[in-house]
């Protein structure tokens, strides 16, 4: 069982390296392939103007009613939460925990640094914790990818440098973050 997990990790790392190499050597933006709405892990089409609250209330099917309510309670504590719209999402296991990763955009800002990457991590007693991995950054050419039980972030940053990391718990920083590969 352990060698199978190691094999998947090796494959994920190789895949991340190949994507990073291709993005840097060919200087083209990485595009996200949209999945059909019936998929258990749908992506939101850019420009659909669906707020995070609308998404949690009913657009995203895999959540149970209690999960919807818990995630929405957590989201409603964010100041000006009504200004954020969904651009990408990945749901499921995140480095041993269970939750939802979202790339969101603050529609009240006009600059390219209006994107954020957040994760909702499911906790006991009908609770979700919210972590801001990146806030007010240019994530317009970044994609979320699921490989086995992990979520990887890959793409190009505003200055042209590549971004390749895994969403995981950092023991050093005592928070969820994106650990570089």
Give the separation between CA 58 and CA 89, rounded to whole angstroms. 14
The per-residue pLDDT for range 47-85, each reduced to its tens digit, is 568 999 999 998 787 888 899 999 999 999 999 999 999
Q: What is the pLDDT of residue 8?
A: 64
Give the residues of the chain that fall short of pLDDT 70: 1-10, 12-48
pTM of the model: 0.73
Q: What is the pLDDT of residue 137?
A: 93
How many CB atoms are located within 10 Å of the residue 45 CB?
Answer: 13
Q: What is the pLDDT of residue 14?
A: 66
Give the separation between CA 127 and CA 146, rounded to whole angstroms. 23
Give the separation between CA 181 and CA 45, rounded to whole angstroms. 28
Question: b/e string for 54-67 if b means 16 or more Cβ within 10 A?
Answer: ebbeebbeebeeeb
Q: What is the pLDDT of residue 178?
A: 95
């Amino acid at each position: 069982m352990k060698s199978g997990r190691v094999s998947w990790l090796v494959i994920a790392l190789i895949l991340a390296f190949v994507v990073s190499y291709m993005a840097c050597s060919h200087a083209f933006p990485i595009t996200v392939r949209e999945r059909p709405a019936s998929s258990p892990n749908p992506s939101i089409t850019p420009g659909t103007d669906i707020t995070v609250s609308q998404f949690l209330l009913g657009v995203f099917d895999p959540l149970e009613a209690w999960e919807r309510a818990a995630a929405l309670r957590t989201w409603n504590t964010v100041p000006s939460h009504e200004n954020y719209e969904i651009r990408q999402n990945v749901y499921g296991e995140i480095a041993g925990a269970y939750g939802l990763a979202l790339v969101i955009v603050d529609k009240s800002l006009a600059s390219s640094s209006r994107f954020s990457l957040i994760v909702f991590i499911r906790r006991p007693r009908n609770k979700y914790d919210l972590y801001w991995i990146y806030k007010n950054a240019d994530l317009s050419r970044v994609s979320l990818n699921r490989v086995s039980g992990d979520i990887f972030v890959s793409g190009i940053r505003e200055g042209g440098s590549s971004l390749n990391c895994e969403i995981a718990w950092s023991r050093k920083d005592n928070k969820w973050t994106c650990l570089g590969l």
